[in-house]
Each structure stands twice: as structure tokens, then as C-alpha cells.
Amino acid sequence: MNKENLLPQNDIHRRIIHLDMDAFYASVETRRHPEYKDKALVVGQDPRKNHGHGVVATCNYVARKYGVHSAMAGIQAVRLVPKDKLVFVPPDFKTYRSVSAQIHSFMHDITDRVESVALDEAYLDVTHNKLGEESTVKLALNLQKRIRTEVGLNSSFGVSYNKFLAKMGSEYAKPFGRTVILPSEAKQFLGIQKIEKFPGIGPKTQEQLHEMDVYTGADLQKVDVIVLLKKFKKMGYILAQHARGIDLSPVVTDSEVNRKSIGIERTYEPAIFSQDEALSKIRAYCDYLEKELKKRNFRASTIVLKIRNNDFETATKRRKLSKPSDDHLDFYEVARELFESTHGFLEDGIRLLGVTATDFKKENYQAINLFDY
């Protein structure tokens, strides 16, 4: 068998932009304090005034030259940067949120297919956009320009045919980056990337890959899919796809993510009196839910069964899954238990059956973000 057959067919027809603000919190603070423009500006509590405590949320590019970075102890920044160069500014999330909302409103002028990854970063699927613009690059350049002139901040973007490449692109030329990766260039672009740039590769995986002599995308491209699958399971399969520029994950709009549940229900006339028939309907609904969840990269933690009898009595029963899942078999197992725990409905005849998946977790290979501290 051709091993490449293990991989899904690539899709190069979508047009995706990934936009990420440059040194986001720090740039907002510099906008407010232009006098700090040439200083090494760190957003976080000043450890010198805080019993040595404090973490760097982010810092400007001057501070980065000294080796300061996000998530570093503030005291480390004090050691790295000359005293007269260093300023600490405490975070002001309210302002960051309002700037983020403003940037999002610009994005929504282009398309509603916007997926926010963080306050300063989003994917846009502009395959069909509100402006009827054919050039993705033009859309991205105009967005970047609008953010600069109307908000006074710089951003970087990547343009490509999937989310993974668009994100690699936006990081490639930061700050004020503009990177376009065409389908014909993807393999070569990925070839020159260090593997630690690939999303989902943590220090442990990195070390294991180094042991296999894999340091760059080009090295990764040479590793057999089956080897990656065996060694890294699902993550290996994703890596094999990424190395070849394949990423079929959709842009999941913010309104979809905020959606609380996905369900299906049907009424029956005549009513159902057979357990087998009822269970086969439930099974089919679980199949449907799996498809809908997979489309969105969601996992559900809770299954809800709705059932109504000939007397129009309705029961709604819910149960948590042992772990979040997008597998119809897991849904069916729980839905069947719920069905079996309803008494008398089958005897009276079932008029309505519904299965709903809820309590979503979004599958995400992005690095964890530390927004919430």
C-alpha cells in the first residue's frame, strides 16, 4: 500500500488569514506612554516593589533583545536589562480587551468567519468574504493597515490555504510581518522551519525528534508516516500532515464555539413501541453528533437524552461521559444507559427522541495561553 494514502487528501482551495498583534500588551502600553518607546518595557508587576514576585506577561522588542520573554520571572528581567533601560508597567486587561474588540470589529467587516485564538490573534476564512475581494493578500494588507492607522498598533499576518500554514506565516516575519505561502511553496517553506516552530511540539517531543535526527521540517518530511504514528500516536499523524502542508481543520467561528450544545430530535407518527427501533434511532443520532462535533474540532463532556411518550410526558436525562469525546460509540453507550433508565415510555409508545451533546471542549494543539492570570 502506498503509505501516503494514510494521509488525507490536501485541500488548497480555502483562503485563510492568521493575524497576530506584535508585542500586544507592551504595544498598547507604549501607545499610552510614548516616552517609553526606547526603553525595555515589560508588562507585569515590578519585582523590586513586590518582594521579588511577578511574571513577565510580555515585553516590547527592545526588551527581547536582552533576552526577556513572556512567562519569565520578572526578577530575571531585572538581571538581564541595564537599570536605566528597564520599565515595568502593570497589566490593564480592560484596555487590552477593548482594543481586541476594536480589532475584531475590523475583521468582522471582512467576514464573520473569524476564530479568535486569544485577545490578540485570530484566523479569518475569507474564501467568501463580505467585500467580494478576490485577493487574500489585499484583504490582509488592508486589515493590517487599518489596525495601524485607526488603532495605532502593529500586527503581523500570514496568508495561506489552511490555518496551520497561515499561523506559521504570521510568526515567520514578526514584527510587522507579511507572509504569503502559496500551495506550490508550502513544502519548501516548511522544510526550512525548525521543528520547535510546529504547533504541538513540546520540549519532550522535541527531544524525541532530535533523537531521530529530526531538526527541521525537511527532516520531518522524510520520516515515514507509520513511524510517526507509532511513536507519537494521534499527534504523530498530525505532524505528518503538517510536514506536508496538510491541515483540514476548519475556522470555527466564535459564535459556534460559544454555542452551548449540538443536538438532534425527531417526532414519530406512529409512535415507536420496539426497543430495537428506538435504539437504532439513538445510534443514528449519535453518528450525526460525531460528524457535527468533528467538523468543529469539539469534544462533548455530557450527553442529554430527550424522550416523549404518547401521553406527551417528556423526560430529559443527562449524564457526563467518563472523559470528553467526539466518538459516537461513547455517546451511544451513555445515551443507551439513559434510555434504559426511563421507565414506561416504551410501553406507552415513544413520540419523540432526541440526543444532544453539550459541555464542549475545543480540541486545540496551540500552546496554552496564559491570559487568565
Catalytically active residues are 121
**Is residue 120 a contact residue for Mg ion (CB under 5 A)?**
yes
The region of 82-90, 110-118, 182-190, 215-223 touching Mg ion under the rule CB under 5 A is 110-118
Interaction residues for ligand TTP, span 23-52 (CB under 6 A): 23-25
**Is residue 212 a contact residue for ligand TTP (CB under 6 A)?**
no
The region of 79-87, 102-110, 117-125, 164-172 touching Mg ion under the rule CB under 5 A is 117-125
- Burial string for 162-172 (b: 16+ CB within 10 Å, else e) reads bbbbbbbbbbb
The region of 17-25, 133-141, 198-206, 350-358 touching ligand TTP under the rule CB under 6 A is 17-25
**Is residue 71 a contact residue for ligand TTP (CB under 6 A)?**
yes
Residue pair 18/121 in contact (Cβ under 8 Å)? The answer is yes
**Rounded to the nearest 10 degrees, what angle do helices 225-243 and 203-211 cross at?**
120
User: In sequence order, what are the beta bridge partners of 115?
Assistant: 123
Kindly give, in sequence order, each residue whose CB lies less than 8 Å from that of residue 276, ignoring residues fewer than 6 positions away: none
Radius of gyration of the chain (CA): 25
User: 22, 277, 292, 359: which one contacts ligand TTP (CB under 6 A)?
Assistant: 22
171/265 with CB nearer Mg ion:
171
Distance CA 305, CA 354 (A): 6
Kindly give, in sequence order, each residue whose CB lies less than 8 Å from that of residue 2, ignoring residues fewer than 6 positions away: none
12/118 with CB nearer ligand TTP:
118
- Among the listed residues 261, 291, 276, the one whose alpha carbon sits nearest the alpha carbon of residue 354: 261
**Is residue 330 a contact residue for Mg ion (CB under 5 A)?**
no
Task: By CB under 6 A, name the binding residues for ligand TTP.
Answer: 20-25, 57-58, 70-71, 118, 120-121, 174-175, 369-371
Annotated binding site for Mg(2+): 20, 120
As annotated, the binding site includes: 20, 120
